[in-house]
Amino acid sequence: MPIASEDAAALEAAAGGAEKSRYVRQIFSDIAPRYDLLNHILSLNIDRVWRRKAIARLGVENDPSGRYLDLSAGTLDVSAALSRKRGFRGSIAAADFAEPMLRSGRRKIAGRRITPVAADALALPFAAGSMAGAVVAFGIRNVADLDAGLREVHRVLAPGARFVILEFSTPRVRMVNAGYQFYFNEILPAVGGLISGHRTAYRYLPRSVANFPGQEELAHRMTVAGFENVGWHSLTFGIAAIHTGERSNIT
């Protein structure tokens, strides 16, 4: 595919076009072998800290033996970290629709109660009310229909269970945002494309963030999807944010 056509496909997918599911599945399958390396290089390893903070908000101490959902699990970093959390005795369903990503991360979960599941976030193969909690790290913006995805997570959560979203955001301080935009739109695509060998995957990333709802709007859409006690806080000058919400205890 010519570069111009690839750019057009990335732009359409980032905006939520009809081809988003197909496009996102393909690019993440393509970059799976280099995904971990690029994550840590491009984030200067801050992504590890962000993931730990998100897991801490999940509240597994309330049900340490429960079954938890790692949505858009990718190469299983969150699942592996959650399984190592002190006192955790439960199990984890790690769902992602790009099966090569799950395959790339299998070495991290050897001997742990983690089950990789190739599944679309819009049609999860889990019973209603079966999950003690759910977390998604840097994957919710890749869902083709955000509102439907939020409703599907709400469906599989048990009453009182918490949903934690860790996602990129846009800094509000002008000088921070200027540096962020330069890095995200110029440096990241160049380095990501060079290391991954994929010309457009890392052009899609900044475009998908730019098209993703702001913190207040995402909180509102979580509430509309049925979540209660919705809140959020920013990370690292607003580069990322953690949102939390709970399924009502009333069934």
Read off the tokens for 23: 């496009």
- Stretch 93-122: mean pLDDT, rounded? 96
For CA atoms 177, 218, 192, 74, give the dihedral sign: positive
- 2 has a pLDDT exceeding 50: no
- 3 has a pLDDT exceeding 60: no
What percent of the chain lies above the pLDDT cut of 70? Answer: 92
Strands 91-96 and 114-118: parallel
What percent of the chain lies above the pLDDT cut of 90? Answer: 68
- Stretch 230-249: mean pLDDT, rounded? 95
Among 16-30, 107-121, 136-150, 210-224, the range scoring the smallest mean pLDDT is 16-30
- 251 has a pLDDT exceeding 70: no
β partners of residue 164: 135, 244
- Stretch 155-170: mean pLDDT, rounded? 96
**pLDDT of res. 80:** 97
**pLDDT of res. 45:** 83
Domains and CATH numbers, the chain: 3-246 (3.40.50.150)
β partners of residue 70: 94, 135
Question: CA-CA distance, 198 to 176, in Å (whole number)?
Answer: 28
By CB atoms closer than 10 A (0-12, 13-18, 19+), residue 182 is exposed
**pLDDT of res. 123:** 96
Question: CA-CA distance, 152 to 154, in Å (whole number)?
Answer: 5
**pLDDT of res. 197:** 80
β partners of residue 137: 166
pLDDT tens across 177-219, in order?
A: 999 899 988 998 888 888 788 878 888 888 888 899 999 999 9
- 122 has a pLDDT exceeding 90: yes
pLDDT tens across 10-66, in order?
A: 666 766 666 788 888 998 899 888 888 777 777 878 999 999 999 999 999 999 999
Mean per-residue pLDDT over the chain, rounded? 91
Q: What angle do CA 191, 243, 158 make, to 5 degrees?
A: 120
User: Position 164: which residue type?
Assistant: V
- 148 has a pLDDT exceeding 80: yes
Q: Tell me which residue of 10, 3, 2, 9 sits closest to 202, measured CA to CA.
A: 10
